Amino acid sequence: AGVIGILKGLQIFDGRALSSYHIVFYLMFLSPLGAFALLLGNYLQCNNNIVFYNIVSQMGKYFFYILTMLLTTYVLKLVYNYDILWTMTLSVFCFVRLLAILLLAFLLPGKIFQKVCSWRRTKTPSVRDWRTTSFHLAINQVLFFVLMAVDLLVAKILVADSARVDQYAAVIMLASFAWVISVSIYSVLPAQISSHIEKTQTTAPEILQGKINQVNIINLLLTLLLGTLAIVFSRPIIGAFGPTYYNAVSQWAFIILVVGYLLGGFSRPAAAVIAYSGNEMWMIYLSIGELIMITVTAVVLTLLYGIVGTAIAAAGTILVKTVVLLLISHYKVGVRSVGFF
């Protein structure tokens, strides 16, 4: 409510519509909150509470969004406007964050939860190390959320046709299911990694490597299936937003993003291995490099090819980061995150 009040004040101050601030809203408010939520989810993962982790992660968030939309549409029969939609979004967002904290309070050992959530400085080395690593992971997650909005921001600034920008925003939302699938599939790994990886080791335990290989096979099969379905049925999928959203340009942007997101999903084990082996600073360095790369390439390619160029820049940056993550995982920790390097 406070955030909406601030944006309303901006609206009164310069007369622009509230929707003009959606990118600012995302970057300034939702990014830090989203990073904090993902950090809480990491604690649940490491405690091997996979079901509860998925409830408070992307999969659960989409479930609560859909449930809220169904209730407000068919039970409360609300007539949607921009303010109602933002209020619904914030309500679900805050509910999932609160649920994550409550689950942590009940599922984590009491002493650990108390020390992690305490503002006081602790002399316990393990908790102090946990806090330091968590701080680094939180920074990386903030960068991740910012990165998810950069391509849309570039399109909004450089693409003159607002209809094209709307189409690209819809395409991003539709293609993001690929991230949800990969996050859910690989959610079983962090507990295994944190249990079997030592900060000083350079070779992966055989049991951990076997587990990663098994999950990779499942992800590969689902990637092939979902990628094929997305390409074949791209027209009705995009058309779900309305007939004006589907055309050859939006179709190509959708296909490019889906392929990039699905292939980028294979970086999940590498990212987890790097984060939980004491090399989490590499994640920050890579995210900064990714931010520079996607900004430069998106500007150039958007000017040349419109939103298709924007999609190429986003997907290409993800693929480059994926390869680098796999190489770091292999050479720094000794884990073959996709089975061959």
Highest mean pLDDT among 73-77, 148-152, 195-199: 148-152
Q: Among 60, 247, 75, which Cα is nearest to 170's?
A: 247
Quote the radius of gyration of the chain (alpha carbons, Å). 21
For 107-140, the pLDDT digits (tens) are 665 555 555 555 455 555 455 566 677 677 778 7
Number of neighbours of residue 132 by Cβ within 10 angstroms: 12
For 286-304, the pLDDT digits (tens) are 999 999 999 999 999 999 9
Q: Supply the pLDDT for residue 183.
A: 74
Q: Which of 80-84, 87-91, 238-242, 279-283 has the lowest mean pLDDT?
A: 80-84
Under 8 Å between Cβ of 315 and 259: yes
Average pLDDT, the chain: 76
For 212-263, the pLDDT digits (tens) are 888 888 888 888 898 899 889 999 888 877 788 899 999 999 999 999 999 9
The residue with greater pLDDT, 42 or 224, is: 224
- Per the rule left: phi > 0, alpha: psi between -120 and 50, beta: everything else, 264 is alpha
pLDDT above 90 coverage of the chain, percent: 20
For 92-109, the pLDDT digits (tens) are 777 777 777 677 667 665
Q: Supply the pLDDT for residue 271.
A: 86
- The Cα–Cα gap between 174 and 214 comes to 28
Q: What is the DSSP letter of 246?
A: -
Burial of 116 (0-12, 13-18, 19+ CB in 10 A): middle
Number of neighbours of residue 28 by Cβ within 10 angstroms: 12
